[in-house]
Amino acid sequence: MQLSLVALVALLPAVLAIPASPVADANLPVATSNVAGLHAVARAAGKLYVGTATDVNEFSDTQLTAILENTQQFGQVTPENSMKWDATEPQQGVFTFANADRVAQLARSRGQLIRGHNCVWHQQLPSWVTAGNFNAQQLTSIVQNHCSTLVSHFKGQIWDVVNEPLNDDGSFRQDVFFNTLGTSYIATALRAAKAADPNAKVYINDFNIEGTGAKATAMKNLIRTLKSQGVPIDGVGLQSHFIVGEVPGTLVQNMQEFAALGVEVAITELDIRMQLPETAALLEQQKRDFQTVVSACQAVPACVGITLWDFTDKFSFVPSTFPGFGAATPWDSNFVKKPAFDGIVAGF
């Protein structure tokens, strides 16, 4: 069918009126809690911190920094990208810490803890690592040098030394490290990190290990093996990227089983995404879900703290990673606290 120019022009208002993205219900509910801040609530409940991920790309937003720098709100900071391998050692033996130092300085100047993220991961690797065709001896030395340099530069911190070593079925992830070194790269990284800073807390961090199941069991077996070999391992990070209405029902049991192995537990990357658009019902369920996660941590003494994977929808990675989903954090894109904020407070 062919349309005349006049007909096309007549259609333009209707075309332009089509929303570019899902539109939320009007008059959505907001948080009602009257507290000094989430970190203050967590400390009063006996936990070490509530923190958030952030990075230098966010620091020009004055609304964000006003909240981020409020130590009643957040007592811990995780650099989302600026401590990863491609950002810190883009060329072999050449280390760049400018952006990571900015995040660390912001946190240290306010007495906030820093969670180093991360030493060894299969993503965001420079090509010299992935395509270097190193033999086992060479790659072992590279892992040792990278972890040692990174951890010694940011001493006195908590570190996700090894990030996401497992597949969902509990097998080890195939990457340049495992394919060359087998599982030994995990012990190598942990030992190098601990030697560089004996006061650092060294963790393995992964997703889909929050509830009981094959992957969580594999992580527990890995921790047992490492401990039997005398490898330092202080904690396990449960990333906790959840979907509204689908939070595992075995969080407490699973944390207790990790704690029984002699490691502490942290919720390291918490967000709870929903299929857009937001609705009052979804926000209410999200509130309950945040409360469930936080109350699970509160119920287990070995769970030391909780980190949000950014606190505002404005900078959440969710929409770009999970198309059609979003609204995963306790603050909306305009920095208005959502019911999820109340859920966190109630969880403590």
Query: What does the pLDDT look like over 214-244, one tens digit per residue?
Result: 999 999 999 999 999 999 999 999 999 999 9
Please state, for a pLDDT cut of 70, what percent of the chain lies above it.
Answer: 93
Residue 128 has pLDDT above 50, yes or no: yes
β-bridge pairing 235-238 and 76-79:
unpaired
pLDDT of residue 181: 98
pLDDT of residue 89: 98
Does the annotation count 69 as an active-site position?
no
Does the annotation count 164 as an active-site position?
yes
Residue 153 has pLDDT above 70, yes or no: yes
Active-site residue, from 80, 210, 269, 278 = 269
pLDDT of residue 253: 98
Out of 7-16, 203-212, 240-249, pick the least confident: 7-16
pTM of the model: 0.92
Could you give the CA distance from residue 318 to residue 166 in angstroms, rounded to a whole number?
A: 21
Helical packing angle, 251-259 and 214-228, nearest 10°: 10
Alpha helices in 230-327 (DSSP H): 251-259, 280-299, 318-321
pLDDT of residue 26: 61
**Cross-strand bridge partners of residue 77:** 52, 114
Active-site residue, from 89, 164, 264, 278 = 164
Write the DSSP symbol of residue 57. Answer: G
